[in-house]
Each structure stands twice: as C-alpha cells, then as structure tokens.
C-alpha cells in the first residue's frame, strides 16, 4: 500500500510517501523555523500563510523523490489534531482535495500517534506493546502503546511541555528560537550539578509532569545572579536545567515500564533529539534491563513520514474520514 502523508500542524510543511507503512520512499520537510525565530516563537497566522504557499510544491517534491505518480497512491494520510487550527486546516483541505479528485481514501492521523510511529520506521521489528515517552514542543506524554491504534495515556504534563520549557529557557539565556537544540549544545560544556533546579512529582499522578516550575526557577536564578552582580555561567545553567528536565523524564518513563511490566521503551518527539536525555535514558534502561528504541534525529521533529506510517495502521483498522473531516487544536489520543 502506497500512502501520501501530509503534516502541517505547526511550523513544518511536510509530505512523504511510504510503502506498506514502514518503508519511506520520500520525506520532504519545509521548515518555517527561521521565519518565526525573529518573533521568538511560532506566529499562527504566519504559519498558516506559509503552509498555503509551500504545500503544493512540498507534495510535488515528495512524489518526485519517491518516483511515484498520483495514480500509484492508495490513500492520503493527514494530521487532523492536535495543533494550530489554521495550520492544520491547510493540510486537511489539501488532503481532502486530493482525496476527492483522485477518489482516494482520506485517513485522519493524530499527531502524537504519528510521533510514536516514527519508531516503526526506524525499527522494522518493533511492535506494540511498548511504553513511549512523547516529548515535543506541545506535548509531554507517557503512553502505553497497547496496539497500533490502541493507547493508554499513563501521564502527561500539567502545564508546560518539555520542549516549551527548553524554548523558554533558551529565550532567557538569549538563544535563538527554537531553543531546544541550542540549550542542548550549550549544556555540553556546562556542569549538570552546578545549580539545583526543582524536580516535580505528584502523589495523585506518578507519571504526570510539570515543567513550569523549573522554568521559573531558572528565571529567578538569573535575576538573583544579575542583582548580586555576579556573572552568569550560561553553560552551567543550560546543563543544570537540562538535567532537571531529563531526570524526571527518565525516572517516570522507567517507572511506567516497571509498573506495566513492559520491557520495550521508546522515545519520540522533538525533545527525543536531546543528547542528555538520550544518554541518561540509555544508562537507565541498561541498568534496568530494558530495551530502548531511540528514533534517528530526522524522525524526532515533525515530519510526514511518521504520519503516513501511522496512516497505514489506521487504514488497516478502517479508520477513514469523509470530506467533513475537521481540525482540532486538542484531541485525546
Ligand atoms: O516534535 P516537534 O518538532 O514539534 C511539536 O510537535 O511540538 O518538537 C519541537 C520541540 C521544540 O520545543 C524544540 O525546541 C524541541 O522540540 N527540541 C529539542 C531539541 N531539538 C528539538 N529540545 C531539547 N533538545 C534538543 N536537542
Ligand atoms: Zn510534533
């Protein structure tokens, strides 16, 4: 089955072609990040307009690179939630137009399901059940993946997502948007134990996260140091902040896998690219005898290959949409 995937939930216009779910024939991503960076974050109106400009050529390029004709495609998989509404609607309407004109099935894909599916592409033998930590700019979820289309959310963030915290801390450190990668790079030359930032736990939600406190603690630390006239060691702050975030992500992911007695553990989402997270998780999984699946960097951030891959499993479960398909800013998994 050859599927075209379309992803426009945030600031990446992406299209991809996959064969039987896991084989990627092409994956094209047009990022708007440099455009939004001058505003310090994604401007929704600009994102929608840029998607409109890019979508046609991105889809054409994906078909060209895959060496497939429109007549070879068996279905169109598109992200319908969660995300920026105006941005989602561009991809959804483009997919609807293709579905109508080519008489092809329309397959709605939840963005987080797509992130989880990025691991199927990277690891052809990986099958549910497994536990997945999805950490991105908009989400931080620990998910029990029971089947390809069956999920149990064990925990999620109660305030900021992990990536959002990285981006906000990057901003106060004077680093460009999106800041996660810059904090990551800076942290390599800092000491993770230089400043103790809080690690938050909840009695009534052992797998839930909270990252707004650690972000505020970083801001307060910078103010205090400035008031005292003491110089800032930005690398130490970046490393100590990263350690606080990574510690809770690793601890809760491992605890969830022990609780569910599931030995396969995976990572997904933009923050999955974080070097400290990958290092610490590898160590923790090694110590606990867990098998860890880390997606390659090109599949961590938003892309359409993961959408087409998940679309294959949605289609197998007969999860199709008609032309009334809408976009949703938030939608449960
Ligand atoms: O999955 P993604 O591309 O988009 C969303 O669905 O949100 O994730 C983007 C997020 C941003 O917050 C970005 O700063 C973060 O992932 N990110 C990182 C790294 N690379 C990207 N955070 C920490 N370390 C990184 N190396
Ligand atoms: Zn994403």
Mean pLDDT for 246-264 is: 97
In sequence order, what are the residues at sequence separation of 6 or more whose Cβ sits closer than 8 angstroms to the Cβ of residue 180?
A: 137, 163, 166, 167, 170, 270, 271, 273, 274
How far does residue 166's CA lie from ligand 1's centre (Å)?
8
Q: Note whether 114 and 309 are within 8 A (CB).
A: yes
Which pLDDT does position 200 carry in this prediction? Answer: 92
Q: Note whether 14 and 302 are within 8 A (CB).
A: yes
Query: Measured at the alpha carbon of residue 101, what is the angle toward residues 51 and 9, in degrees to the nearest 5?
Result: 25
Residue 75 near ligand 1, beta carbon < 6 Å: no
Q: How far apart are CA 27 and CA 6, in angstroms?
A: 10
Look at residues 245, 237, 282, 276 and name the one whose alpha carbon lies nearest to residue 161: 245
Residue nearest to atom 16 of ligand 1 (CA): 270
The answer, yes or no, to whether residue 244 has pLDDT greater than 90, is yes
Is the previous residue joined to 29 through a cis bond, with omega within 30 degrees of 0?
no
The answer, yes or no, to whether residue 120 has pLDDT greater than 90, is yes
Q: What is the β-pairing status of strands 150-156 and 264-268?
A: unpaired
Q: How far apart are CA 106 and CA 96, in angstroms?
A: 7
Which pLDDT does position 130 carry in this prediction? Answer: 98
Which pLDDT does position 191 carry in this prediction? Answer: 98
C-alpha of 241 from chain center: 20
pLDDT in tens, 294-317: 999 999 999 999 999 999 999 999
pLDDT in tens, 42-63: 999 999 999 999 999 999 999 9
Q: Mutate which of 166, 187, 279, 330 to test ligand 1's pocket (most atoms within 8 Å of Cβ)?
A: 166
Residue 114 near ligand 1, beta carbon < 6 Å: no
Mean pLDDT for 284-300 is: 97
Task: Give the position of tokens 């599931």.
Answer: 262
The answer, yes or no, to whether residue 40 has pLDDT greater than 90, is no
Handedness of CA 210, 214, 220, 223 (dihedral sign): negative
Which pLDDT does position 201 carry in this prediction? Answer: 92
pLDDT in tens, 123-142: 999 999 999 999 999 889 99
Which pLDDT does position 119 carry in this prediction? Answer: 98
Q: Mutate which of 41, 215, 270 to test ligand 1's pocket (most atoms within 8 Å of Cβ)?
A: 270
Which pLDDT does position 41 carry in this prediction? Answer: 87
Q: How far apart are CA 300 and CA 132, in angstroms?
A: 13
**Predicted TM-score of the model (pTM):** 0.96
How far does residue 332's CA lie from ligand 2's centre (Å)?
15
How far does residue 178's CA lie from ligand 1's centre (Å)?
7
The answer, yes or no, to whether residue 231 has pLDDT greater than 90, is no
Residue 297, Cβ density class (10 Å: 0-12 exposed, 13-18 middle, ≥19 buried): exposed
Q: How far apart are CA 43 and CA 36, in angstroms?
A: 6
Residue 230 banded pLDDT, cuts 50, 70, 90 = confident
Residue 181 near ligand 1, beta carbon < 6 Å: yes
Residue 70 banded pLDDT, cuts 50, 70, 90 = very high
Q: How far apart are CA 228 and CA 19, in angstroms?
A: 60
Question: Residue 109 pairs with which residues in a beta bridge?
Answer: 79
Residue 37 banded pLDDT, cuts 50, 70, 90 = confident
Residue 270 near ligand 1, beta carbon < 6 Å: yes
| Strand runs labelled E in the chain | 2-7, 12-19, 23-31, 75-81, 106-110, 130-135, 140-147, 150-156, 264-268, 291-293
Mean pLDDT for 190-217 is: 95
Q: How far apart are CA 186 and CA 182, in angstroms?
A: 6
Residue nearest to atom 14 of ligand 1 (CA): 180
Residue 116 near ligand 1, beta carbon < 6 Å: no
Residue 182 banded pLDDT, cuts 50, 70, 90 = very high
- Give the DSSP H or E segment for 112: helix 111-122
Residue 99 near ligand 1, beta carbon < 6 Å: no
pLDDT in tens, 150-170: 999 999 999 999 999 999 999
Which pLDDT does position 26 carry in this prediction? Answer: 98
C-alpha of 183 from chain center: 17
Mean pLDDT for 25-29 is: 98
Mean pLDDT for 181-207 is: 96
Which pLDDT does position 20 carry in this prediction? Answer: 96
Ligand nearest, relative to CA of residue 271? 1
Q: How far apart are CA 326 and CA 88, in angstroms?
A: 9
Could you give phi then psi for residue 182, rounded to 5 degrees?
-70, -40
Mean pLDDT for 209-216 is: 95
Q: How far apart are CA 185 and CA 189, in angstroms?
A: 8
Residue 291 banded pLDDT, cuts 50, 70, 90 = very high
């Amino acid at each position: 089955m050859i599927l075209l995937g379309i992803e426009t939930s945030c600031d990446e216009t992406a299209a991809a072609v996959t064969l039987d779910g896991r084989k990627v024939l092409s994956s094209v991503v047009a990022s708007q990040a440099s455009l939004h960076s001058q505003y310090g974050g994604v401007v929704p109106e600009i994102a929608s307009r840029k998607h409109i400009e890019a979508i046609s050529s991105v889809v054409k390029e994906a078909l060209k690179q895959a060496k497939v004709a429109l007549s070879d495609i068996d279905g169109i998989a598109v992200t319908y939630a969660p995300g920026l509404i105006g941005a989602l609607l561009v991809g959804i309407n483009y997919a609807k137009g293709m579905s109508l004109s080519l008489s092809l099935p329309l397959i709605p894909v939840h963005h987080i399901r797509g992130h989880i599916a990025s691991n199927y592409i990277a690891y052809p033998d990986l099958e549910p059940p497994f536990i997945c930590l999805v950490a991105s700019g908009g989400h931080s979820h620990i998910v029990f993946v029971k089947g390809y289309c069956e999920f149990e959310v064990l925990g999620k963030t109660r305030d900021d997502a992990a990536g959002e915290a990285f981006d906000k801390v990057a901003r106060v450190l004077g680093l460009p948007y999106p800041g996660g990668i810059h904090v990551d790079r800076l942290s390599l030359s800092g000491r993770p134990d230089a400043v103790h930032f809080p690690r938050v736990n909840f009695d009534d939600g052992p797998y839930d996260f909270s990252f707004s406190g650690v972000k505020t603690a970083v801001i307060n630390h910078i103010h205090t140091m400035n008031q005292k006239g003491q110089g800032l060691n930005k690398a130490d702050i970046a490393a100590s902040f990263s350690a606080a975030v990574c510690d809770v992500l690793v601890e809760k992911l491992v605890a969830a896998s022990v609780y569910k007695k599931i030995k396969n553990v995976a990572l997904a989402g933009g923050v999955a690219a974080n070097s400290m997270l990958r290092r610490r998780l590898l160590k923790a999984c090694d110590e606990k005898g867990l098998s860890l699946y880390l997606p390659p960097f090109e599949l961590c951030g938003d892309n359409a290959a993961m959408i087409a891959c998940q679309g294959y499993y949605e289609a197998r479960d007969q999860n199709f949409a008609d032309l009334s398909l809408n976009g949703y800013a938030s939608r449960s998994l």
